[in-house]
Structures are given as C-alpha cells and as structure tokens.
Amino acid sequence: METIIENELVKELANKHGRSRDSLVPILQDLVVHNRFLSKQDMIDVARELDISAADVYGTATFYTFLDIEPKGKYVIRICKTISCAMKGKNEMLATIEEILKVKIGETTPDGKFSLLETNCIGWCHKAPAMLINDTPYTELTPRKVTEILREYIKK
Amino acid sequence: MVSLSINGMQVKVPEGTTILEAAKQLNFRIPTLCHHDDLCVAGNCRVCVVEQLGAKALVASCATPVTEGIQILTNSLKVRSARKHIIELLLSEHNADCTKCYKNGMCELQDLSNEFAVGDHIFIDLNTIKDYTVDRFSPSIQKDDSKCIRCQRCVRTCEQLQGVNALTVAFKGDQQRITTFEDLSMAEVICTNCGQCINRCPTGALVERTYLDEVWDAILDPTKHVVVQTAPAVRVGLGEELGLKPGKRVTGQMVSALKRLGFDSVLDTDFTADLTIMEEGTELLTRLKKALVDKDSDVALPMTTSCSPGWVKFIEHTFPEYLPNVSTCKSPQQMFGALTKTYYSRNRNLDPKDIVSVSIMPCTAKKYEANRPEMRSSGFKDVDYVLTTRELARMIKQAGVDFNRLKEDKYDSIMGVSSGAGVIFGATGGVMEAALRTAYEIVTGRPVPFEDLNITPVRGMDGVRQASVLFEDCKEEWSFLNGVELQCAVAHGLVNARKLMDGVKSGEINVHFIEVMACPGGCLGGGGQPIPTNEEIRKKRTEAIYAEDMSMEIRKSHENPEIIGIYKDFLGEPLGHKSHELLHTQYTKRVRY
Amino acid sequence: MSSNHVKRVDLIFEKIECKAVLEKIVDMEPDDICQELLDSDLKGRGGAGFPTGMKWRFTAQEKDPVKYIVCNADEGEPGTFKDREILDQVPGKVFCGMAIAGKAVGAKMGYVYLRGEYKFLIPKLNTELDKFHKTMDEFNQNFRIQIRLGSGAYICGEESALFESIEGKRGEPRNKPPYPTSFGLFGKPTAINNVETLVHTVMIMNYGADHFRELGTKDSRGSKVFSISGDTPKAGIFELELGMTVDQFVNDFGDGDTKAVQVGGASGFCVPRKKFAETIIGFEGMPTGGSMKLFNSSRSMYNVLHNYLDFFTEESCGQCTPCRVGCQQLLKGVEAVKRGEKNSKYLDELVKLAKTMKRASKCGLGQSVGNAFGSIVENFKEEIIY
Ligand SMILES: Cc1cc2nc3c(=O)[nH]c(=O)nc-3n(C[C@H](O)[C@H](O)[C@H](O)COP(=O)(O)O)c2cc1C
Ligand code: SF4
Ligand code: SF4
Ligand code: SF4
Ligand code: SF4
Ligand code: FES
Ligand code: FES
C-alpha cells in the first residue's frame, strides 16, 4: 500500500466546503483555480477526503468542461465558437491569438502561461465576438483589441 | 390499484407498477436494454418507449409508473419507428462484427436487431471515428469499449450491488464513455473481479477473459494429465446455459459431460470445501481459545471467511486494517489446486509438472485468484486455468455433447467425495452453516440442534443476517466455550459486506465469525454464472443447492471419509505443518481509492 | 398590439425597494401568494412556460418539512444573456423573489445555480447577498441563500440535471415523474425558477396581478426580457411586451435584410422571412427563453445549423441513445450531404430521425434538437445541400 502524503490543499478545501458528496464540485472548482487543472493525485486525494471512489471523482470531473484534467497554463483563454461569435469574426480572433502566442487550440505555451481553448456561448452574443481569460470576459473583440489584451497579460 | 389499458386491453395493477411490468401481466413483452431487475431504473437506452395516448412524447415504460386511466400502445407506428431508429443508432456507434464477437448468439443488442430485422444500416458508421480500446490486462475481465452501448448497467451494478464503484460514466456528449479512474485498465483499479458487471452487460463490452483454447490444448496434449474440479454452484447453474429451466440440478450429467470432453480426472471442489471447514473451523476455535483462555488481546476477531476471492480483493482495498481478521485459509479452489499437484499426484504416481489443473467456477474473481503470485505453494501454479460455468457450457457445445441425454455419472476419486456441507458453500450463509455443523459437533460431540441439520437462521436473502449458536455441555477440551454464544454474521453482495464491516468498525456489530460472499446470493449468483441472473433465478438456484444438500448421504464435512483419509495419510491435523504450507495464504494491503 | 412596432417595458430592471415588497408579503398566507401569481397568469421565463403559481402551490402542498427554492441562473442557451444582465443590475430583486418563493412554499433554503461563465459576478452577488441576509434578519425570516457555480455544462440548466450537479454528481437529467415539486434537490420538494421569473414575481407582488395582466395577450401575459443578437443594429437586452409578431420585431430590430430569425436559441425554431407575419412570439405561437437571433441574407444557414449541431453534440449529457447518437448522426449527416457523399434524400431520413429524437429522448435537450434541425432544413433545404 502506498504511503499517504498529506495533500494540504485538498484538506483545506475539504475543511472549507465540507466532506459530503455535494462538496465535491466546489472542491474540484477551487483546485482548478489553484492548479489550473486536476491532477491524478489530487483526484485520488479528494476521493480519500470525501470517502468516495476515485472513479466517481473522475467521472464527475470529466463531465464538466471547466474542470480540466490536463495541465493548463496560468491564463486559460476560452474563445467562444458559438453562432454569434462565429458570425462576427471569431476565426479572425483565433488566428490573431494563435499568431501572437504561437499555439493552436488545445495547446499551452511552452512557458506554461497561456492555454488556448474554444468554448460554447458565454452569454455575450450581443457583444460578439467574446472570450474569457480565466474568469474575465472580453467582448466586442477586434484583432487590435485582442492584441492589446494579450500584451497586458504577457506583461503580467 | 390503478387501472389502465394497454393495446386496448384493460389491466389493474398496484400503484407504483411501471408500464413495463403492467404490460408483462398482459403478456406483452416490451424490449429493454438498460433495464435490469437487480438494478435501479436508468431510463437511458430508450428502446422501451411506448405511446401514451394524448401525450406529446413517447414514454420510457421501464421508468414510468402507471397512472389511472392511461391508454398505452406498445407497438404503434410511432413506437416501432422510434424503436427501430434507436436500435439503428446504437448499431451505428457499435463495432458490430458479431461473427467475431464473444457474445455472438447471446447478445441482447443482437437479439433486438434481429427482432427488428435491421437490414442496411441507414446511418453513418461512427465506430470508425472513435478511438476504441480493448482492455485485456485483467486475468478476469475483458473490456471492449467498441461494443459498449452505454446502458450503464455495469456502473449501476458496481455501485448498487457491490459498493465498489470501480466503473464510472465519464465525459459527456459524443465523448461520453464507460470507464475507470483515469481510464486505467481493469487490472489497475479497485475492481474486485467479481464479474457482476459482466453478468449484467447486455453486449460483448464486458466479458470474462476466456481460457477455452488453453484448456482444449491441454486436454488434447497426450503428455498432460488434466484434472478438473467443479465448484458447488456450477451444478445448479449449468443447465440454464444448456436449455434447462433455472433450478435444475445437473451434477451427474455434468460429470458425465466432463468425462466426454476428455478430462483425465473429474473431481469435486466440494471436497476441498469440506477441507476448508476443517481448517477454518479449527482456526476459528483456536482464535476463540486464544481470546477467551489465553486472554490474548492481539487475536483478530471477528474472523471472516476467505473463500470468496472477490471479497478478499475487496477487503484488501477497502478495509486493509482488517486483513488479520481474514481467515488464512485459501479458497477451496486453491486448496484443491495445491493438493492436485502434491497429494493427488503422489497418490496417482504422476509428475506434478505433467498435471494441468483446471477448475470450473461460477466466478470470474477465481481467474484472478489463480494468478496471484502467492498461489504456487505446490511448487507449481496451483490452478492453471479457471473456466466459468458459461465457458464450460460452451465447451460442451463445441464438443457436440448432447447434454440433456447424458446419463448421470459419478466423480472420480480421490478428491471426488464430498458432503452436503460442501455443497451449500454455493449459497450465501452456506459456509457459515457448514462450519457450524462441524464446529458445534467438535466442541460438544453432538450435532447442531437444528432439524435435519438445517440451520435456517443463516439462510435467506437479506443482505446482512445475524445469528448465534449457544455452546453447552462442551467436551472437556472445549469447556472454555461452555455458555459461550457464538455470534455470527453473514453478508452477500459487497455493498452489504461494506455495511457489515462499517458496523464492525463502529462497534455496532459485535460478532465472532463473519461469512462474506462477494456476489448477491453467494456463488450461485456469481459473475461467471449463466446470464441472466436475477432475484428469481437466484432463489431457484438456492432451492436446488439445499435440495442437493438434503440428497447427500453425508451432510457434515468432518464425516467425509476422504477428508478423514487425507488427514490420516497426508496432512496430519488441521492447521498442522503441511496444512500451513499448502492450504493457507496471506494477503496484501492495497489502496482504497 | 396593433401598431407595427413592439412595446418597450421597464419592469424587470426597475430599481425598487425590495423591503417594501417583503413588507407586503411577510404576513400574507402562503397560498395567497400562489393565488396572486395564478391570477397574474405568470408563466416561467426559462423556456418551458409552466405557470409559476401552480408550481409553487404544488411544492407548498408537499408534506416534507424540508423544501428548497432554486434559482436557475445557468443561462447556457446560445443567444441568451438576459439573466446575466438581471443579476448584474438588480440582484437584490432576484433574491427577493426567492424569499417570496420560500415564503409561499415553506422553504428555508435557496440555491442560486450560476453558470461558471458568470463567475465574475460573484463578488457583487456576495455583497448583495450579505445585504439580503441582513434584511431577512430584520424581517425575522430565516430564509438563507447559497450560490453554487456551474463548470461549463449546458445541460445543467435542465432542472433535474441542475439538482444532480448541486448534489455533486454528473449533470445527467433524471426520469420524470417524479417532478421537482415532489422530488427535487436532495430528493426534497423544490420550486425551481428562472432568474427572470423570480423578478416577475417580485413585481407582481409589488404592483398586483392585474398590473401584470395588462400587458401581453390571453396566452402570454406580461412582458419578457429578450436577448437580441446577430445581424441587428440594436443588439442587446430589451424588455418587450409579449405577443408581438416576428414581423413587428424585425421592423424594430432588423437591419433591413433579415432573412430568418432564430427564436429561442439553438433549441428553438428558425422562422424564415415568409413566416414573419404569421408567427407570434409567446406561448400561443413560438415560446422562447428570450433569445432572438437575426440572420441577414449574407449568412449561410448551413453554417448556422452546423454550429448548432456541433453545440448539441458536445453538450448532450450523453446518457440517452436518441440524443447522444442522434446528435452525432445529424451532424455527420448534414456534413455528408454537403460534401455530396449522401444524396439529398438522406435529409429526409435525418428529419425522421430528428422526430424520433423529439419523441423518445429523455429530456428537453434531445427533445428540442429537432426544432432547429427541422425548421432550418425545411425552410433552407437548398442552402444545406448546395
Ligand atoms: C437543455 C435545457 C437547458 C435549460 N437551461 C435553462 C437555463 O439555462 N435557465 C433556465 O432558467 N431554464 C433552463 N431550462 C429550463 C429548466 O429546466 C426549467 O424548466 C426552468 O428553470 C424552470 O423555470 P421557470 O418555470 O421559471 O421557467 C433548460 C431546459 C433544458 C431542457
Ligand atoms: S456485442 Fe452483440 S451486437 Fe455487438 S458484435 Fe457482439 S454479438 Fe454483435
Ligand atoms: S468486476 Fe465487480 S468490482 Fe469489478 S467492475 Fe465489475 S462489478 Fe465492479
Ligand atoms: S459495458 Fe456493458 S453494461 Fe456497461 S454500459 Fe457498456 S454495454 Fe452497458
Ligand atoms: S436528451 Fe440528451 S441531454 Fe437529455 S438526457 Fe438524453 S442524452 Fe442527456
Ligand atoms: S455566441 Fe459567443 S457569446 Fe454567445
Ligand atoms: S429499458 Fe427503458 S430506457 Fe432502457
């Protein structure tokens, strides 16, 4: 049997959200905030903390698009690909981002700073095209605006 | 009572009845895939949809309780076209190479597509786009995602019957699939190999790892002496695979068939079941003595049985702190294997390296067990190949043996004689009952005080059962047990085992001896038993097991002459040196999550 | 409504003093609240349009001492963004609506299920929630609200999937019956409402049922907040009287070249120009959760349909056959027709399949994929094929 190394973060989150099944998603969400993704070990530790099977944690996590199980960059860019944004130039924005960051959809920059993903409608269709960088929405994008936004993030 | 009409016929059924059940009462069978009598309602495959007059949508008959006055059509145009579409959709996602499929001829999806005469596939084959894998790492289970129809029966089985949750539904939409933690192989996760999921999988997505070819190769190899042992539950299940009604005992025909298949010696696991009773019973009494007389606080009580390898793997994962409580006895299969290549080979003047030892089991976990590295105490692999009841039926068919016309035959000797106590190992509570029949008599010199030796309090289908036996007027060497009430608990289905162990852990359940069978109903409901298995069928098999017990001349393990013989000629005494070497084992702590 | 224009309304975003409304309802009989809502004819604004008063009354009638109120702020329907604006502008009114619901059904606990995409609203909502809880204390009410976040799954807007999600599981819709009013969140009787519906209840309790009934038509009383996007010079959030025709709507919001309007988002219907005049926006015609998306003649309806099907293929929970596999088949099917690998007759097969999905799927998602599919294929067949 493996020796159990305490996962302080998971413990802390379980203390914060509780250890019943309905605490699972909030704990996973906070883990993603901290680590940008759910590692295999984190999922096992959450399973132990809540006394449910690791498969259940995995099954639940993978249902939710934002609960990534692959490593992601510090800033996760999710560009909306649904109809309004598609109509209003999403592809052009995507090309701009790809050009600046030198990554394709699904990839993370080698420095681990940015991941580029597509997502479904984020509720800003009247100000399309739109994207999220982590939790922050950016709307009425133009290639120029995208360039400026990214420049700010690169500086951070 | 609620009245409704189905296809124009009136019927009255109790409140809470589903439309599916109500239709059954009128002899209308509605096709189902995700539904299983043992499991909670899922309502996800949708092949059972029916038309409710006046309703906009069709309703899933398995998931919809009847309401007063509804009018149902089970075979209307709308229903037929939806049903056909659904079958076609499933096939479009499915690797339907039936002729190469293990479940060919025994597959619910295939039956349905046959019934609905699905001809040219209308829809685009999605199977080619998906990146499917076949997992063959486990010695017990083969999982082929390309055959999976996502009915989730396996997931519900593992959760609701077994409380293991090794399987899960993962991802969503077109990516949705049935998998394990991190898509690991079945061999790397907390799966107990019980095979209950296999028993409920409607398709070829979850099947046992088969060793038929290896066994035929051995049989047909003239240099090999092939010994076969048959577990107690096989004789009450095998008939179902060969066209007989559930509950039919086929012991004699089975022996006869095995001989025709070419096994060199047809022997009975029941013999080592009896031996298990001797060893395990003595172990229990020894532990009790240590606790009561020597006041040894380290002795691990309650003691649990160890004959169910699904249970053993479960406790290794889930309650590793209780491993000292598990009897060190190997399962009867493994005792048999170890003796085959020692006692039996010596007796028959055979070189153990020329012996191939095969077992026929109602169980898929036994395949894993036989492959445990510690199971080589004879110096060889104790059991070479484990086949399920279903695999044996297939061998019989392959060999063209007309099973139903076979005359009954008798097991060979040695290691072919058994008692009724050995037989009831196949039912939940059976090991407990067999152990009590012997232990009580050892301690008091009298038979257990139950009519016809039938210890009914430990029988039945309740998930967890408790009973006790009072020791009185004990023989001198056991006088320390005078007035002691032996407390016993029995659980079947791992979800109940978990409950029982949680109770032990919390102190709520305070007993001396625990029997756990991983599968619902015990081995007769094992993962390797005929499909379908459900409550009704388990009951029939149980009746058959107890009828077999009643029909036996010897009903107690310690009275089995071959048992007396093996101790005299070979083992010495229970828990003796040889026993330790060959019949006992140790366990491995494993991860719980 | 006779003019050729739609009527603007300002109720939902009207800044009112919630305390005044609470003042009114604290001493009311719970059933009188339900009755007031029934009198108003308010129907749910989340899409399904179930009478709110009835929903609350059913929940109130359940014997279980533990009940829940849930505010559905998952707003995942493509083209819908009004709930975000409501939560941003008048969060206090949303909480107030939940408190009224709590009073009406006898619940002590409410949940707001906010889609993860709107997480940026959390700081503001928390501040408002503190205020709200203080107000509750002032009124001696022990009703409390918790906010739960989604994590990127459209299906969690479906009420039973939403419950599963709050319970910490995969958001897979449940079988119905039982309905939420008897077996909802944590298996308890639950009244679940859309953000906007809850604000309407506040306004109805404030101004009275009659005031609400003055607006709209016989089948669609009141006003509704619309999320307007696409090819329009006036994209944004507008509260309009119900019962307008698409023609009236296009007159006000079109760019002069509107060829189709998608009413109700990806799960709604596509109305082509020739049907603008006859199509009424409301429960008697085309019900909508509020999304109105305009397409002008420069748009390929194939691309629109493809985009929607791609959305459903990803966002289906995947548990039931008609929806999981059906979505994939519709998507691959139109692609194959477009590429010429399947002939145009194959579209008829797909329309039949969409019908099966409508009839046999387990939940509203699979049941409504056929809406967009059927209406786009029927009206723009050439664009799909060529
Ligand atoms: C796929 C699907 C998604 C839904 N998404 C939402 C949603 O985002 N917001 C919402 O209020 N209702 C949504 N609904 C409707 C809800 O199931 C439910 O009917 C509604 O929350 C009830 O509130 P109401 O009566 O106030 O409209 C959705 C339904 C389906 C089938
Ligand atoms: S699972 Fe059934 S339908 Fe599929 S290939 Fe095997 S036999 Fe055929
Ligand atoms: S074999 Fe048993 S434990 Fe393993 S996945 Fe199947 S049901 Fe679960
Ligand atoms: S593996 Fe079998 S039981 Fe499990 S979901 Fe697939 S088809 Fe159903
Ligand atoms: S219709 Fe779609 S979303 Fe709804 S239960 Fe079925 S698969 Fe899931
Ligand atoms: S379509 Fe992009 S935000 Fe709605
Ligand atoms: S059998 Fe009813 S939905 Fe599957």
Ligand 1 centroid, distance to C47 Cα (angstroms): 6
Determine phi and psi for B324, rounding to 5 degrees.
-60, -20
Complex-level ipTM: 0.97
Give the tens place of pLDDT for each residue, B224-279. 999 999 999 999 999 999 999 999 999 999 999 999 999 999 999 999 999 999 99
In a domain, A50, yes or no: yes
Q: Which residues of A touch C307 (CB under 8 A)?
A: 81-83, 86
Are residues B155 and B287 both part of a single domain? no
DSSP run (H or E) holding B357: strand B355-361
- Looking at beta carbons, which pairs linking A55-58 to residues 24 or more positions away fall under 8 Å? A55/B165, A55/B166, A55/B167, A55/B168, A55/B179, A55/B180, A55/B181, A55/B189, A55/B190, A56/B165, A56/B168, A57/A24, A57/A28, A57/B181, A58/B168, A58/B170, A58/B179, A58/B180, A58/B181, A58/B182
Ligand 3 centroid, distance to B166 Cα (angstroms): 6
Closest CA to B64 of B43, B47, B38: B43
Amino acid, res. B198: I
Residue B581 falls in the annotated catalytic set: no
Please state, in angstroms and rounded to a whole number, the distance separating the CA atoms of residues C361 and B344: 61
CATH for B305: 3.40.950.10
Residue B120: pLDDT band (50, 70, 90) is confident
Give the tens place of pLDDT for each residue, A56-108. 999 999 999 999 999 999 999 999 999 999 999 999 999 999 999 999 999 99
Give the chain A residue nearest B587 (alpha carbons): A1
Residue having the nearest C-alpha atom to atom 22 of ligand 1: C193
Which structure tokens are listed for C143? 């009703």
Per-residue pLDDT at C1: 46
Angle between the N-to-C axes of helices B77-92 and C345-360, in degrees from 0 to 180, rounded to the nearest 10: 110
Question: C149 — contact with chain A (CB < 8 Å)?
Answer: yes
Are residues B340 and B317 both part of a single domain? no
Give the tens place of pLDDT for each residue, B548-576. 999 999 999 999 999 999 999 999 999 99
In a domain, A83, yes or no: yes
Are residues A103 and A46 both part of a single domain? no
Is a pLDDT exceeding 50 seen at residue C337?
yes
Mean pLDDT of B204-229: 98
Q: Are strands B385-388 and B355-361 parallel, antiparallel or unpaired?
A: parallel
In a domain, B542, yes or no: yes
Mean pLDDT of B576-592: 96
Are residues A30 and A56 both part of a single domain? yes
Q: Do A137 and C117 touch (CB under 8 A)?
A: yes
Residue A3: pLDDT band (50, 70, 90) is low
Give the tens place of pLDDT for each residue, C72-109. 999 999 999 999 999 999 999 999 999 999 999 999 99
At residue B395's C-alpha, the angle toward residues B390 and B398, to 5°, is 125
In a domain, A123, yes or no: yes
- Is the separation of the CB atoms in A60 and C168 below 8 Å? yes
Is a pLDDT exceeding 50 seen at residue B503?
yes
At residue B314's C-alpha, the angle toward residues B387 and B580, to 5°, is 75
Please state, in angstroms and rounded to a whole number, the distance separating the CA atoms of residues C71 and C114: 8
Q: Do A59 and B189 touch (CB under 8 A)?
A: no
Please state, in angstroms and rounded to a whole number, the distance separating the CA atoms of residues B9 and B4: 8
In a domain, A66, yes or no: no
Distances (CA, A) of B348 to B224, B226, B343, B414: 14, 13, 9, 9
**Around Cβ B78, how many Cβ atoms within 10 Å?**
17
Closest CA to C230 of C81, C75, C377, C121: C81
Closest CA to B375 of B286, B312, B287: B312
Residue A1: pLDDT band (50, 70, 90) is very low
Map out the domains of chain C with their CATH numbers. Answer: 18-213 (3.40.50.11540), 301-385 (1.20.1440.230)
Are residues A45 and A93 both part of a single domain? no
Mean pLDDT of B3-31: 97
Outline where chain A has alpha helix (H). 8-17, 24-35, 40-50, 54-63, 83-87, 90-101, 143-155
Mean pLDDT of B25-37: 98
In a domain, A3, yes or no: no
Are residues A79 and A151 both part of a single domain? yes
Q: Which chains have 3+ CB pairs within 8 A of A?
A: B, C
Are residues A15 and A46 both part of a single domain? yes
Encode burial over B269-301: b for 16+ CB neighbours within 10 A, e otherwise. Answer: bbbbbbbbbbbbbbbbbebbbbbeeeeeeebeb
| pTM given for the model | 0.97
In a domain, A68, yes or no: no
Encode burial over C235-259: b for 16+ CB neighbours within 10 A, e otherwise. Answer: bbbbbbbbbbbbbbbbbbbbeeebb
- Is the separation of the CB atoms in B419 and B556 below 8 Å? yes
Are residues A91 and A131 both part of a single domain? yes
Closest CA to B473 of B459, B486, B483: B483
Determine phi and psi for B518, rounding to 5 degrees.
-65, -30
Which structure tokens are listed for B141? 């289970």
Please state, in angstroms and rounded to a whole number, the distance separating the CA atoms of residues B421 and B280: 13
Residue-range definition of the domain harbouring residue A127: 75-155
First vs last C-alpha separation in chain A:
43
Average pLDDT over all residues of chain B: 97
In a domain, B258, yes or no: yes
- Is the separation of the CB atoms in B62 and B151 below 8 Å? no
CATH for B165: 3.30.70.20
DSSP run (H or E) holding C357: helix C345-360
Are residues B491 and B391 both part of a single domain? no
Residue B280 falls in the annotated catalytic set: yes
Is a pLDDT exceeding 90 seen at residue C3?
no
Angle between the N-to-C axes of helices A24-35 and A8-17, in degrees from 0 to 180, rounded to the nearest 10: 140
Is a pLDDT exceeding 80 seen at residue C4?
no
**Around Cβ B482, how many Cβ atoms within 10 Å?**
14
Dihedral of alpha carbons A85, A91, A97, A98, sign: positive
Mean pLDDT of B352-374: 97
Amino acid, res. A110: P
In a domain, B183, yes or no: yes
Encode burial over C99-131: b for 16+ CB neighbours within 10 A, e otherwise. Answer: bbbbbbbbbebbbbbbbbbbbebeeebeebbee
Q: Does residue A139 line the site of ligand 6, with CB under 6 A?
A: no
Are residues B7 and B49 both part of a single domain? yes
- Is the separation of the CB atoms in A24 and C170 below 8 Å? no
Give the tens place of pLDDT for each residue, B455-499. 999 999 999 999 999 999 999 999 999 999 999 999 999 999 999
Average pLDDT over all residues of chain A: 96
CB pairs under 8 A between A and C: 113
Closest CA to B401 of B265, B243, B545: B243
DSSP run (H or E) holding B179: strand B177-179
Is a pLDDT exceeding 80 seen at residue B315?
yes
Mean pLDDT of B341-358: 97
Are residues B451 and B323 both part of a single domain? yes
Total of domains in chain A? 2
Dihedral of alpha carbons B35, B41, B47, B50, sign: positive
Are residues A29 and A82 both part of a single domain? no
Are residues A49 and A100 both part of a single domain? no
CATH for A112: 3.40.30.10
Q: Are strands C258-263 and B134-135 parallel, antiparallel or unpaired?
A: unpaired
Per-residue pLDDT at C379: 97
Are residues A101 and A149 both part of a single domain? yes
Amino acid, res. A91: N
Please state, in angstroms and rounded to a whole number, the distance separating the CA atoms of residues B135 and B149: 16
Q: Which residues are CB-contacts of B396 (< 8 A; sequence separation ≥ 6)? A: B242, B257, B261, B403
Total of domains in chain B? 4
**Around Cβ C315, how many Cβ atoms within 10 Å?**
24
Per-residue pLDDT at C138: 96
Are residues A41 and A86 both part of a single domain? no
Q: Which residues of A touch B165 (CB under 8 A)?
A: 52-53, 55-56
Q: Which residues of A touch B167 (CB under 8 A)?
A: 55
In a domain, A1, yes or no: no
- Is the separation of the CB atoms in A47 and A40 below 8 Å? no
Is a pLDDT exceeding 70 seen at residue C2?
no
Q: Are strands C291-296 and C269-272 parallel, antiparallel or unpaired?
A: unpaired
Closest Cβ–Cβ partner in A65, A86, A136 for C307: A86
Give the tens place of pLDDT for each residue, B425-435. 999 999 999 99
Per-residue pLDDT at B312: 98
Is a pLDDT exceeding 70 seen at residue B535?
yes
Length of chain C: 386
What percent of chain C stands above pLDDT 90?
Answer: 97
Please state, in angstroms and rounded to a whole number, the distance separating the CA atoms of residues C244 and C265: 18
Atom of ligand 6 nearest to the CA of C81: 4
Residue-range definition of the domain harbouring residue B545: 282-328+419-583
**DSSP designation for B326:** B
Mean pLDDT of B94-99: 95
At residue C68's C-alpha, the angle toward residues C66 and C73, to 5°, is 170
Per-residue pLDDT at A2: 52
**DSSP designation for C116:** G
Please give, rounded to a whole number of angstroms, the shortest distance from the CA of A44 to a CA of chain B: 6
DSSP run (H or E) holding B51: strand B49-52
Q: Does residue B154 line the site of ligand 4, with CB under 6 A?
A: yes
Ligand 4 centroid, distance to B113 Cα (angstroms): 17
CATH for B14: 3.10.20.740
In a domain, B411, yes or no: no
Ligand number nearest CA of B157 is 3
Q: Do C328 and B174 touch (CB under 8 A)?
A: yes
Burial class (CB within 10 angstroms; exposed 0-12, middle 13-18, buried 19+) of B105: exposed
